[in-house]
Structure 1
Amino acid sequence: MTGHADDGVLVARARTGDTAAFERLVRRYSGPVYRIALRVLNDADAAQDVAQEAFVAAWRRLDEIRAGQAFAAWLYRIATTRALSAARRRGTAGQPDPVEEPDTGAPARTGDPVQHVLAEDLRGALWRALARLTPEQRACWVLRELEELSYDEIAEITRSGPDAVRGRIHRARTRLAEELSAWR
């Protein structure tokens, strides 16, 4: 899990009303929570809303974290559940064009403008292909490939079995490979 060793300390302090401790957790996890929501919803505004709702819910429900439970997994479950619920309410019809991932401080572009354009085109193709997956497949793929979580962690977050997670990720990878075959 991507959690930090002192998450438990910060959670314990936040439970006593220490808002500064919770603010540190928000700063630490705001990027991953937003990315998960953005990839599931494919809408920057809706993703921002879901991320904010997830942190508000986490603050209100801090007492629900079990001893030894990773804060990150618990928070990702809240964010993923809210994002999937929002995606189901919206349905797939009329979704906006795929939103590209915000610049995350990736290495600076090389001096080769052709390579830069090709990389940007591939990145856009990936986001468009992701938008065509089911929200559940997108969520599992994002948690595995972008957040680098294990199948068991994803199963816990999505409240599904590891076999279901493997199946969703397999179908997502297969579909992405088909959609991106021109880039091989």
Structure 2
Amino acid sequence: MKEKREADIVRKILLGDVQLYGTLVRKYQGPIYNLMLRMTGDADISADLAQEAFVRAYEKLDTFNLRRRLFPWLYTLALNVARDWLRKDGRDRHVFVEDAAVMVREQDRRDEPKAMNDRLDGAKAFKAVMNLDSKYREALMLRYRHDFSMQEIAATLGISVSAAKMRLSRGLDMVRQQFDGGNNP
């Protein structure tokens, strides 16, 4: 769904065609649920929090800037829902990452002759990412899993663009160090 088309859908929803909201939910329910699963580690809680995020997004849809991409706005809102849940009653702040099979994009699976080496390298890289502090993991996931721009990463994480670049750079350096056989970063 192109950004212009999404803006048109949001405009129509705001004008009263609420049934169209289901189109947006269907498109983004997977990534939002996966975010919640990484944050909570519990499938049932993740489903509830994803639903809460979509309800909150619907309630705040009139604050969305139609000239921007919808997904970063929605992801930021969902991340705040998850953070609110974690803060409530002092819950554990451990952040989970999707399993390696989910992290590999479909276009990466098409080249079957090198699939075995890719899987081995992918598992090693996944382990390296899992060993990172959550602030680096989040930045890497936003950039390389969800294709966020530096500005979108900064806005989502509530940091400056410079800090977002630094987190990505440091996170990649740490992954390279682990991937290349180095010890802890």
TM range (shorter): 0.7 to 0.9
Match of 1:13 in 2: 12
Percent of pairs with identical residues: 23
Structure 1 portions without partners, runs of 5+: none
| C-alpha displacement of 1:91 | 2.9
Match of 1:124 in 2: 123
Match of 1:105 in 2: 106
1:33-58 per-residue CA deviation (whole Å, 9 max, x = no partner) reads 345455x5384726555433322221
Counterpart secondary structure, 2:106: coil
Matched-pair contact (CA < 8 Å) for 1:41–1:135: no
Match of 2:153 in 1: 154
| C-alpha displacement of 1:156 | 1.7
1:130-183 per-residue CA deviation (whole Å, 9 max, x = no partner) reads 22222222121111122222211211222211111111111211111111114x
Matched-pair contact (CA < 8 Å) for 1:155–1:161: yes
| C-alpha displacement of 1:59 | 1.4
* Structure 2 counterpart of 1:149, one-letter code: F
Residues 133 and 99 (structure 1 numbering): CA distance in 2 closer, same or farther, change over 3 Å?
Answer: same
Match of 1:139 in 2: 138
Normalising by structure 1, what TM-score? 0.75
Counterpart secondary structure, 2:20: helix
Matched-pair contact (CA < 8 Å) for 2:72–2:148: no
Normalising by structure 2, what TM-score? 0.74
Which structure is higher in helix share? 2
1:45-84 per-residue CA deviation (whole Å, 9 max, x = no partner) reads 2655543332222112212224534322211211233445
Matched-pair contact (CA < 8 Å) for 1:155–1:165: yes
The CA distance in 2 between the partners of 1:5 and 1:98, in whole Å, is 29
Deviates more, 1:26-35 or 1:69-78: 26-35
Matched-pair contact (CA < 8 Å) for 2:34–2:98: no
Match of 2:61 in 1: 62
1:113-135 per-residue CA deviation (whole Å, 9 max, x = no partner) reads xx433322222222222222222
Matched-pair contact (CA < 8 Å) for 1:151–1:162: yes
Residues 42 and 76 (structure 1 numbering): CA distance in 2 closer, same or farther, change over 3 Å?
Answer: same
Structure 2 portions without partners, runs of 5+: none
Match of 2:77 in 1: 78
1:166-181 matches, within 5 Å, as: 166-181=165-180
Task: Give yes or no for the alignment of 1:91 onto 2:90.
Answer: no
Matched-pair contact (CA < 8 Å) for 1:125–1:180: yes
Pairing partner for 1:41 from 28, 39, 42: 39
The CA distance in 2 between the partners of 1:117 and 1:150, in whole Å, is 31
Task: Give yes or no for the alignment of 1:27 onto 2:26.
Answer: yes
